[in-house]
Amino acid sequence: MIKQIDTFLKENQAHIESYLQQYLSNIEAPPQLVKAMEYSLMAGGKRIRPAFVLAIIDALGKKKSIGYGAACAIEMIHTYSLIHDDLPAMDDDDYRRGKLTNHKVFGEAMAILAGDALLTHAFYLITHDFPTKEHQNPAAIQVQMIQELSKYAGPMGMVGGQVLDMQGENNPALSLEELYKIHQHKTADLLTCSVRFGCYLGGASSKQLDALSEYAKHIGLAFQIQDDILDEVGDEQKLGKKVGSDRDNEKTTFVSLLGIEQATKKLEEHVALSKQALDQAQVKDSLLVELTDFMIQRDH
């Protein structure tokens, strides 16, 4: 039996990639820059963050199609962060999803500029591909979304989390509280922004916005804990990397601090809290429940 989530993710991926390609083709910029942007943006992946934008819109009873611009903007932000993370000054990675990293193909300078271009073009999409007919005051919602994307992706969010992660490297004294702070910002914030985008576009009430934001926070943290567990006990072929790499690199993780058993309990706690928040939102939640389970039960 094909689950609802399997169909949704497959359709979501196809739609998002079609729109991403369309947006790229409309950019009037030096061809090599667009080529570098496209190389990483179309390199694959399940398009999870866009999926949350669209799933929230669906849960609020609106057509998912009104969220494609915002969903693609989120994916551009995510992709720019990956390009920059892979740079020699950061993680110095040669491969991403089985392909050479952007700087290995286009050089460091062009990779930096491709990341910059994706970051800034995300804001262009929010202002130029917005379902104005769906809202009484579309300009106010656009301003709110721009403000929130700046917050969750910037120094108060994802970028700040990356800095905390860098500062915490090779620090065996890193506490559980400090680790939570790193991943709240580095991992969970962009997912929270995705969910909040869906809320604004879908017409959520303030109570629903708060509940669904709480849902997203716990999903993001559970996702990271699962990542840490998989690094220790996952299948190398499915993961596409060596199991135990975090331990070999002396990286502080939920597993290194808590052990597998306690980390698994923490994972289960966050999943339970996410579903509790989802119940409080009082939305059509069957797809979101399946999406939650998919995020946590994945094996790579």
pLDDT in tens, 253-295: 999 999 999 999 999 999 999 999 999 999 998 899 999 998 8
Average pLDDT estimate for 221-237: 83
pLDDT class of 131 with cuts at 50, 70, 90: confident
Say what the pLDDT of residue 150 is.
97
Other C-beta atoms lying within 10 Å of the C-beta of residue 168: 17
Say what the pLDDT of residue 299 is.
66
Which among 26, 122, 47 is positioned nearest to 130, based on CA atoms?
A: 122
Average pLDDT estimate for 55-77: 96
Which among 79, 87, 76 is positioned nearest to 112, based on CA atoms?
A: 87
Reported as a single tens digit per residue, the pLDDT across 74-88 is 999 999 999 999 999
The CATH class, in words, for 4-297 is mainly alpha
The structural domains of the chain, with segments of one domain joined by +, span 4-297
Say what the pLDDT of residue 156 is.
97
Say what the pLDDT of residue 1 is.
37
Share above pLDDT 90 across residues of the chain, in percent, rounded to a whole number: 79
pLDDT class of 159 with cuts at 50, 70, 90: very high
Average pLDDT estimate for 84-103: 94
Task: Give Cα 95 to chain centroid, integer Å.
Answer: 19
Q: What is the pTM of this model?
A: 0.93
pLDDT class of 243 with cuts at 50, 70, 90: low
